Structure 1
Amino acid sequence: MLGILSAHYENMDPHGMLHYEDRELKRWGEEIFGECNLIDPGKIYIKISKKEAKIHYVDDDRLFERLKVILFRRTRGMEHMMRDLVIALERLYPHILILDSVASVADTTSKISSLLTRREKGIPQLDTTVMLSPSVWSSVEVGMPAIVKPSHGHNGIGVEMCNTRDELGQCMARMQLAIQDPATHMGYGVLAQDYIQVDHEYRVVVINGHPLACAEKFGDKLVRNAAQGAIFLEKNNLDAMRLAADCAIKQELFFVGVDIIVKDNNFYVLECNRSPMFGTFDKATGLHTAQLLMREIHRQLDPSAYQGTTLLDDLVSNASKFDIQPDIETLQMNRNDNVQLVAQMEKNIEAIDVEGKQAVSQELERIKKYLERPEGNDYPKRIKESIAIVNQFVIMFNNLSGDFGDKLGKVWVKLIENIFG
C-alpha cells in the first residue's frame, strides 16, 4: 500500500476537489498499488514508552504497519516536523520505503543547504547572497539590478526586481512584514541574486535519476512558472536534461522538478522543487508523470514484476501509448474568442515593419487555417503541428523590438492559452 504525505492539504480547489497533481497521483497509486492513502500529518501522533514506540494515525491505527512506501510531497511551513517524522519512520518502520531520505527532505526545505550542496557537488548555479533577516540589507553589498526572493517562497510569490538601493530598501520593508506573518510560509530571510537576462528557461522533471522530458518556459513576468501564467512547450534540450539528472542524483531527490536557465550557452540550476506541479508539464510533453512515477516506485519494491524493463522503456512506450488529447468541447467553445484574438493580432501587425509583418502574417495565416478546419480524429496531430508553429512564433516575437512586439506577444500567449486549455 502507498501513502502520500503532505504538510498541507491546500491542494484542494474551492469546491473541495484535489488539484490535478494529487488527483493523478492518487489515481495511479490506486491502480498500481491497489490502495493509496493521502496522509494528513496533523492526524499523526507518536507514543514512546518503555514497552514500545509506535506511530499512530487517527483514522487508521494500523496504517503504518500496512504501508509499503511513503511519498513525501509538500513540507513547506512544517520542515522540522516532517524531518522528525522521517527520522521516526526510518527507525520504527524500516520496512517502509521512504521517498525521500532525511537528508533530502531537510536539504530542499533549506535554501542555504541546497545552495551549499550544489556548490559542493560542482553544480552550476547563480551567485547568491542569503540574508538571515531583511533588516541587515543596508550593510550588504548587492549588485544592481537584483532579484530578491523570500528564503522559503513558493509559486513565485514575493519575488521582485530591484534596480536601485532605494527600491531594495522598500522591498526589504515589504519582505519583513511578509515573513512575520506565519500564514505566508515564506521563511525567515531573503535571497538576493544578480539579475541576468536569460536566453532560455527550462523545466525538467526527473524520476530516480532519469529525466522524463524538457519543457521550455515562456512568459512576460519576472517568474516563469505555471502559477504565474507561463506557457510550457516541449523542447528536449539534452544539456538541460543531463544537468537536471545530475542535480537530482547529487541532491538525493527521487522525484523532482529542476528549473534551469541558460545565458550565453552557460547552463545554471535555478531551483530544485521536490514537490513539483506537473500539470502544465504534462500538457506540454504529452506524458503522464504520475503514472511514470508510480510505476518506478513500484518497480523499486517488486523489480521482478517488470521483467527487466526500466523507466526508459516506460518512456518509449508512453510516447506511443499516450497522446495529447484536447478537450474538443472546450476548443469549440473557445473558437469565437480565438477568432476575435486573431483580429486583434492583425491590428497589431499593421504597426510592425515590413519584414516583421510578412513573417508574422505567414504564421498567423497558418493558425487561422488551423482554427477553421473542421473537427475530426486528427486533433492530436494538429495540436503537435500547432505547437511547432508556436515555437517559431514565440522566437519571432521575442526578437521584435519595441512596444508592438510586446503587445503582439501577449495577445499570442492568450490565444495559445485558449487553444490548448
Structure 2
Amino acid sequence: MQVGGLAIIHASPIPPKPTRIILAEFKKMGVKVRYLPIQAISLYLSPYGSYVSVGGKKLELRGALLRGIGFSLTLEQFFIRIGILKYLESEGVRFVNKVSSLLRTRNKLETLIALYRAGLRVPTTLATESLKRMYLGAKALGDVVLKPVMGSRGLGSVRTNDADVAFQIVKTLSSFNQPPLLQEYVEKPKRDIRAFVIGGEVVACMYRYSRGSWKTNVAQGGIGAPLNPPEEVKEMALKCLEVLELDYAGVDIAEGKEGFYVLEVNGSPDFEELSRVSGLNIAKLLAEYFLSVLKR
C-alpha cells in the first residue's frame, strides 16, 4: 500500500492550527491532502534503488506545502531533514515554497544580505562572533535589537539602549554557541506592516500594532488593523519574493524616518489575524494557488 498524492509538511507531531485551517479548505474542495510530520519521513538508499517512506509505507508525492522544518534543531536534525526534502525535490516533488527558498528565509542574515544587494532598505545590521565588535556596535548604534539568526514570532528578540546589557546578552548566548544579530532599532509609530504575497500578488495587508511591548508580532500580543497599502509597500513586498524566489510569504515592513524598511520575510507565515482583519480567506487562496502550481 502506497501513501500518495499531496501533503502538508510541518515539524509538529500534530498539525498546528494554521495547517488545520488549510487542510479544511482542501477538504471543502474535495482534494485529499495528507499531513506529514517531517520527522516521520525516512529515506532509504542502496545499490539496488532508493525510496522515501512514512511508517514503513512507500511515499509517493506530487507536491507538498512546506510549512516548517522545525524550530530548535540540532545540526544533525537539520541536515537529515533538508537532505530528505532535497532528495524528494530532485525526484520531481513540487514544494511550495521550494526547499532552498524556505531555507533562505529561515536564515535572517542570508535574507538581509540578499535584500540589501537587491537595493531594498534594511536595518543597519552587525553579524559577528566577536564580543568586542558587538559591544562597540551596540555603543555606536544606541537603541538596538538582538535577535536570533533563526527564529520567528519575535521569540528571543531583545531591545536595549544599554551597550553593557547588550554585551552581557551576547556573552551569555555565545557561551551556548548561539551568537545573535545586532540591529539598529527602526523608530516607527508603534506599528509595522505585514504584506501577504501569493503567486506574485499582494493579496492582503495589515498594520500590526504593539500592545504593552515594542514587538508588533501577533504571537507577542500585537493586533492587526486594515490597511490599503501604498504602491511602494506593494512593490517592496513583491521584490522581496522575487529576490528570494518564493511562491508565497509574509513580508514585514516598517515605516522609518527615512522611508520604508524591510524587517523580515517569513516563508511559512501564519495568517489568522490577517484573515480576520482583511475578511479574506487566505487559507483558501493558498490552497488554490498550490493546486494551480501543480497543474503547470
Deviation at 1:137?
A: 3.2
Count, aligned residues: 283
5+ long unaligned stretches in structure 2:
none
> Given the alignment, which residue of 3, 6, 11 partners 2:10?
6
* 2:29 aligned counterpart, secondary structure: helix
| C-alpha contact (below 8 Å) 2:134/2:182 kept by paired residues | no
> Given the alignment, which residue of 161, 165, 168 partners 1:170?
168
> Given the alignment, which residue of 266, 271, 283 partners 1:273?
266
1:121 correspondence with 2:118 = yes
Structure 1: how far apart are the matches of 2:37 and 2:52? 13
Q: Which has the larger radius of gyration?
A: 1
Identity percentage of aligned residues = 24
Q: Which has the higher helix share?
A: 1
Show the counterpart of 2:196: 205
After superposition, the Cα gap between the structure-2 partners of 1:210 and 1:285, relative to the gap in structure 1 and judged at 3 Å, is same
Structure 1: how far apart are the matches of 2:81 and 2:253? 27
Deviation at 1:140?
A: 4.9
Show the counterpart of 2:44: 47
* 1:62 aligned counterpart, secondary structure: strand
| C-alpha contact (below 8 Å) 1:219/1:229 kept by paired residues | yes
| C-alpha contact (below 8 Å) 1:257/1:275 kept by paired residues | yes
* 2:35 aligned counterpart, secondary structure: strand
Deviation at 1:98?
A: 1.6
Structure 2: how far apart are the matches of 1:201 and 1:169? 27
After superposition, the Cα gap between the structure-2 partners of 1:35 and 1:48, relative to the gap in structure 1 and judged at 3 Å, is same
Show the counterpart of 1:222: 214
Residues 281-317 of structure 1 show CA distances to partners (whole Å, capped at 9, x for unaligned) of 11111111110011111112236xxxxxxxxxxxxxx
Deviation at 1:135?
A: 8.2
Matches within 5 A, 1:11-410: 18-32=15-29, 34-58=31-55, 61-63=57-59, 65=60, 67-75=61-69, 76=71, 77=73, 78-91=77-90, 93-94=91-92, 96-132=93-129, 137-138=134-135, 140=137, 142-176=140-174, 180=176, 188-199=178-189, 200-220=191-211, 221-238=213-230, 239-264=232-257, 266-302=259-295
Deviation at 1:172?
A: 2.2
| C-alpha contact (below 8 Å) 2:101/2:244 kept by paired residues | yes
* 1:68 aligned counterpart, secondary structure: strand
Residues 372-409 of structure 1 show CA distances to partners (whole Å, capped at 9, x for unaligned) of xxxxxxxxxxxxxxxxxxxxxxxxxxxxxxxxxxxxxx
Deviation at 1:136?
A: 6.3
Deviation at 1:227?
A: 0.8
5+ long unaligned stretches in structure 1:
13-17, 181-186, 304-421
* 1:282 aligned counterpart, secondary structure: helix
Query: TM-score, normalising length from structure 1?
Result: 0.62
* 2:119 aligned counterpart, secondary structure: coil
| C-alpha contact (below 8 Å) 2:40/2:54 kept by paired residues | yes
Deviation at 1:102?
A: 3.4
Structure 2: how far apart are the matches of 1:24 and 1:249? 27
Structure 1: how far apart are the matches of 2:146 and 2:188? 16
Structure 2: how far apart are the matches of 1:133 and 1:154? 24
Structure 2: how far apart are the matches of 1:19 and 1:112? 27
Residue type of the alignment partner of 2:282: T
Residue type of the alignment partner of 1:290: A
Structure 1: how far apart are the matches of 2:210 and 2:204? 20
